Structure 1
Amino acid sequence: MTQAHIVYASMTGNNEEIADIVTDALEDLGVSVAVDEISQADADDFADSDICIIATYTYGDGELPDEALDFYDDLQEENLSGKIYGVCGSGDTFYDDSFGKSVDDFAAAFEKTGATKGAENVKVDLEAEESDIEHLETFAKSLVAKAQAN
């Protein structure tokens, strides 16, 4: 059975909800899913998973969440060759130039691990609405398809 691990950072609950939406979509596709809040996770937790997912928020003018800084640094040191990754998360479109920047930063960190991108990044403006849920479900399907083809 395909194994996925979702690690999320959430200040307002929006990314916990995003992680739940992706979890439900993956489970509907027959994937076994583990979920951890980022301050309770280690980057090497991804070693036992086929699909590695980060759901993060972007703080202020494009900063990573404080609670994600150590995880972010450690992630770049991991060897995740053969793994599929995806990154999603929330931001605020009020910050035009930095909307969802942490999503892009985590995707760049995954690139350094040797993992393969399994889906396009998904950025949600604050709270997930119906169209965002559809994008997140498509995100999950793409990750599973890439993992099964891998």
Structure 2
Amino acid sequence: MKVFIGYISLSGNTEKMAVIIKDRLAACGCEVELERLDTIETDTLKDYDLVLIGSYTWNKEELPYEAMEFYEELGQADVQGVKAACFGSDDLSYTDTYTAIDMLLKKMKGHGAYVYEETLKIHQKTTTYNQIKMCENFADQVLMWSNKRKKWRLFSRSRVLNILHYVKSASL
């Protein structure tokens, strides 16, 4: 499975999350590409089987300026059918936390992406051990969700075409 992880990080917390998720998915046999959001073209998201987007929330309730171009291009890009999930870190002292993650998730869903509804949101002061466990669990859950979507599409297509066959499920 070909996976893209794009992120923006100011303090390094979201970048650490992205690396942990990357390592976990790579250990599961995925081909993972990790890149900053401010350097990618949104049109390339269609080339991946799974896309994970990570961000922090800037200035209490805003999308970081490094992610603004990516966010705006999402409105014009063809992300129809792309399987996506979002993650990020934030400071709980803000009144409205994790706004950037929710904005990115909503934008992708609004433009036809299949979105994993549960996001990974970690407070910037979370201990390293808990952060690693949360990131690894998130990677496992997103991968299982992504594989289920693939099997369901295959099953649905087979039912429509009235093709009978047995699909052996793979375990992680």
TM score, norm. by length of structure 2: 0.80
Residue in 2 that maps onto 1:75? 74
Displacement of 1:79 in angstroms is 2.5
Residue in 1 that maps onto 2:162? none
Residue in 1 that maps onto 2:46? 47
Candidates 123, 126, 133, aligned match of 2:124: 126
Query: Which consecutive segments of 4 or more residues in structure 1 shift more than 6 A?
Result: none
Q: Is the partner of 2:88 in helix, strand or coil? A: strand
Aligned-partner residue type, residue 107 of structure 1: L
Identity of aligned residues (%): 27
Note the residue ranges of structure 1 that are not aligned, 5 or more in a row: none
Q: How does 1:1-150 map to 2 (within 5 A)?
A: 2-95=1-94, 97-118=95-116, 120-129=118-127, 130-149=129-148, 150=150
Task: Indicate the RMSD between aligned Cα atoms, in angstroms.
Answer: 1.5
Provide the C-alpha distance between the structure 1 equivalents of 2:145 and 2:120, rounded to a whole number of angstroms. 16
Displacement of 1:48 in angstroms is 0.6
Aligned-partner residue type, residue 19 of structure 2: D
Provide the C-alpha distance between the structure 2 equivalents of 1:53 and 1:98, rounded to a whole number of angstroms. 22
Provide the C-alpha distance between the structure 1 equivalents of 2:126 and 2:70, rounded to a whole number of angstroms. 24
Displacement of 1:127 in angstroms is 4.8
Aligned-partner residue type, residue 116 of structure 1: Y
TM score, norm. by length of structure 1: 0.91
Q: Could you tell me whether the CA contact under 8 Å between 2:13 and 2:89 is conserved in 1?
A: yes
Displacement of 1:132 in angstroms is 2.7
Q: Is the partner of 1:98 in helix, strand or coil? A: coil
Q: Could you tell me whether the CA contact under 8 Å between 2:17 and 2:131 is conserved in 1?
A: no
Q: Deviations over 1:99-143 (max 9, x none)?
A: 111111110011022111235101111155322322221221122
Aligned-partner residue type, residue 17 of structure 2: I
Q: Could you tell me whether the CA contact under 8 Å between 2:84 and 2:116 is conserved in 1?
A: yes
Displacement of 1:61 in angstroms is 1.7
Q: Could you tell me whether the CA contact under 8 Å between 1:90 and 1:127 is conserved in 2?
A: no
Q: Deviations over 1:46-83 (max 9, x none)?
A: 11101111110001221100011010011132222332
Structure number with greater Rg is: 2
